[in-house]
Amino acid sequence: MNILHISSSIFGDNGKSSELAQHFLEQMSARHPDASVTVRDLAKDPVPHLDAETFQANITAADERSEAQQERAQLGDTLVEELMNTDVLVLSVPMYNFGIPSTLKAWIDQVARAGTTFNYTENGPVGLVKNTKAYVLGARGGAYAGTSNDTQTPYLKMFLGFLGITDVEFVLAEKLNMNAEQAPAIIDQAKQEINQLLES
């Protein structure tokens, strides 16, 4: 089993979303000791914003790329390959300024690749990332779940579905900055939810 963890808290291991991911990975490793875990820490090693040259290089077939294009597409190729080989995708997602971290969006822009991770057909787009289950572990200062202010959940559900990842579970730790005393209990509750998901 290949697990890919995409981490995007600016606080690294000290982030609340990172804490949830750490718990998730410990639980998974206990259940699947042979699982291999790849971590992309987007705060530590940000993926550059997509530009036109890189986009063009990404969608050019590998054997038709110029040397410069090959160089430009290298990181995207690696990120796409990681995603295509993933059985379990874990996105730990802080809410920053009412949306996903821009570092996560930069990763999304690299892995959405026509002809590789999705295809456009006469009947609309078809996702090419098969047999991948995703877990989104969110941390938020305020409370948004179930309201139109939750920009993250519908967006990530739509994007992952576009790539073919339709089996997606969300665990959201909310109100973390509303009452400091309650925050540890909120995190514990989210960890319990993770345990329940992994048991089911």
Ligand X SMILES: Cc1cc2nc3c(=O)[nH]c(=O)nc-3n(C[C@H](O)[C@H](O)[C@H](O)COP(=O)(O)O)c2cc1C
For binding to ligand X (CB under 6 A), which residues are involved? 9-11, 15-18, 94-98, 139-142, 176-177
Facing residues of 134 across strands?
A: 89, 168
> In whole angstroms, how close is the CB of 169 to ligand X at the nearest point?
18
Nearer to ligand X, 35 or 145 (CB): 145
> In whole angstroms, how close is the CB of 47 to ligand X at the nearest point?
17
Nearer to ligand X, 4 or 80 (CB): 4
Phi then psi dihedrals of residue 83, to 5 deg: -70, -45
> In whole angstroms, how close is the CB of 184 to ligand X at the nearest point?
12
Query: Are 115 and 125 spatial neighbours (Cβ–Cβ below 8 Å)?
Result: no
Nearer to ligand X, 18 or 132 (CB): 18
> In whole angstroms, how close is the CB of 111 to ligand X at the nearest point?
21
Nearer to ligand X, 119 or 192 (CB): 192
| Measured distance CA(198)–CA(175) in Å, rounded | 24
Structure tokens at 172: 């959201």
Query: Are 113 and 76 spatial neighbours (Cβ–Cβ below 8 Å)?
Result: yes
Dihedral, 97, 52, 156, 62 alpha carbons, nearest 10: -150
